[in-house]
């Protein structure tokens, strides 16, 4: 019934169905039709807006809350960000991307880390310094106070997998512990922070 009130065509059909003797006196019915039409348009716009929002959240962007300190200072505990869940259908995962993935030991949990190594890369960590294919990796996103002096043996990243690390190296559970992450576990890229206000902007 709401659809009929909102549709100008439906209102026209109502006027045509009115006997000829009543067409000359539309004053009493006019306002009711306009009110109904206005409410119908508002309801229609609301439904469309909700549908678009649901589509964006389900298929494109998902708001998430960061829990923990393993990605400081890039991401802080309780920070709210948007994760793009569609981007990797259009472009490949790249070194430096901050990705969200299902924890390999418990897929019901989600982790967020930075991609350090790609498939086929040789990753070695010597006294905290990361080496990729024998070259020291420059990591300006890891402040000196967040470094880790531990050493880890060289790992060759398997096909369709990625070596991920937290920016807060001394406080992160990452590929140093659970190994490279298969691409099938990765479901999004952190793209934009929206809370707190001083963190609003693109995630880097």
Enumerate the active-site residues.
70, 113
How remote is the C-alpha of 72 from its chain's centroid? 19
Token pair belonging to 162: 């990625």
DSSP string, 64-95: EE--SSTTTTTS-TT-EEEEESSGGGTS---T
Q: Return d(Cα 78, Cα 106) in angstroms, integer.
A: 21
Query: How many other β-carbons are positioned within 10 Å of the β-carbon of residue 131?
Result: 14
Q: Under a CB-based contact definition with an 8 Å cutoff, are residues 58 and 79 in contact?
A: no
Q: Are 181 and 101 in contact (CB under 8 A)?
A: yes
| CA dist., res. 123 & res. 133, Å (int) | 6
User: Is the distance from CB of 185 to CB of 175 less than 8 angstroms?
Assistant: no
d(CA 94, CA 118): 8
CA–CA separation, 49 and 68 (whole Å): 34
């Amino acid at each position: 019934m709401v659809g009929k009130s909102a549709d100008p065509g439906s209102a026209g059909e109502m006027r045509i169905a009115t006997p000829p003797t009543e067409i000359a006196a539309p004053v009493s019915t006019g306002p009711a039709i306009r009110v109904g039409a206005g409410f119908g348009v508002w309801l229609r716009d609301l439904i469309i807006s909700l549908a678009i929002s649901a589509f964006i959240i389900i298929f494109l962007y998902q708001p998430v809350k960061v829990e923990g300190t393993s990605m400081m200072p890039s991401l802080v505990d309780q920070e709210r960000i948007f994760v793009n869940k569609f981007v990797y259908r259009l472009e490949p995962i790249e070194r430096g991307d901050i990705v969200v993935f299902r924890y390999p030991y418990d897929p019901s949990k989600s982790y967020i880390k930075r991609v350090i190594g790609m498939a086929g890369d040789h990753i070695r960590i010597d006294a905290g310094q990361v080496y990729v294919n024998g070259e020291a990796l420059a990591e300006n996103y890891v402040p000196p106070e967040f470094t880790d002096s531990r050493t880890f043996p060289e790992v060759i990243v398997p096909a369709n997998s990625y070596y991920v690390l937290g920016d807060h190296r001394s406080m992160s559970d990452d590929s140093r512990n659970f190994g490279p992450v298969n691409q099938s576990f990765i479901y999004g890229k952190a793209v934009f922070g929206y809370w707190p206000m001083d963190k609003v902007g693109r995630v880097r």
